[in-house]
Amino acid sequence: MAFQKGYTQVYTGDGKGKTTAALGLALRAAGAGLKVYIAQFIKSGDYSEIKALSRLADRITVEQFGLGRFIKAKPSPEDRAAAQKGLEAIRSALNSGNYQVVIMEEGNVAAMCGLFPVDEILAIMTQKPGDVELVITGRGADARVIDKADLVTEMKAVKHYYQDGVAARVGIEK
């Protein structure tokens, strides 16, 4: 199965659910017989979603290009190099013909933190083959990315509970 037209979707905003929405889309795509590629630009490690997705490894490929640390200031050369590998992997996945859905998880945050310029995301959006769905997640989506996308969903924090500065949520992070 292939898309006649693959769209570019952006999930952004300060509310929770951006990654969850993208993973839900990946799950639905896999269930429909499509192949999905996910590049995680910030995370590194064996998170619960990685464990769950490993059960669908014949349909969903996940690679992590984050170094597992929060970028508070200027990214290190190692952080930038890892992000560049992620961008190369995204381009390869988009053009390989092997995947119908490609997800840049936390791509907006990576650009916002300076791991790569937002122009890299815009170039990927322009170069995306017409029959591949591209999903870009993360808060702080640049206005140009929003303008260029076909579908944009903004997650809004309406009611989030915090305990000791940590957002309470269903499930466990790791």
Which tens digits make up the pLDDT trace of 118-147?
999 999 999 999 999 999 999 999 999 999
- Report if residue 103 sits inside a domain: yes
Write down the pLDDT at residue 161: 65
Residue 61: which CATH number?
A: 3.40.50.300
- Report if residue 94 sits inside a domain: yes
Judged against a pLDDT cut of 50, whether residue 171 lies above it is answered with no
Write down the pTM of the prediction. 0.89
Write down the pLDDT at residue 172: 44
Q: Give CA–CA dist 125/123, Å, rounded.
A: 5
Write down the pLDDT at residue 169: 52
CA 126 → CA 61, 101, 119, 145, 155, distances in Å? 23, 16, 10, 11, 25
- Report if residue 118 sits inside a domain: yes
Q: Give CA–CA dist 85/147, Å, rounded.
A: 26
What range defines the domain where residue 64 resides? 21-142
Confidence of residue 150 (pLDDT cuts 50, 70, 90): very high
**Number of structural domains the chain divides into:** 1
Write down the pLDDT at residue 158: 85
Asked whether the CA dihedral 107, 154, 35, 67 is positive or negative, the reply is positive
Write down the pLDDT at residue 73: 75
pLDDT digits (tens, 9 = 90+) for 7-58: 999 999 999 999 999 999 999 999 999 999 999 998 887 778 888 899 999 9
pLDDT digits (tens, 9 = 90+) for 77-117: 999 999 999 999 999 999 999 999 999 999 999 999 999 99
- Report if residue 15 sits inside a domain: no
- Report if residue 161 sits inside a domain: no
- Report if residue 116 sits inside a domain: yes
Strands 162-163 and 166-167: antiparallel
- Report if residue 168 sits inside a domain: no
What secondary structure does DSSP assign to 75-141, as a single string?
PPHHHHHHHHHHHHHHHHHHHHSS-SEEEEETHHHHHHTTSS-HHHHHHHHHHS-TTSEEEEE-SS-
- Report if residue 74 sits inside a domain: yes
Torsion, Cα of 99, 145, 82, 47 (10° steps): -70
Q: How many other C-beta atoms can be found within 10 angstroms of the C-beta atom of residue 72?
A: 7
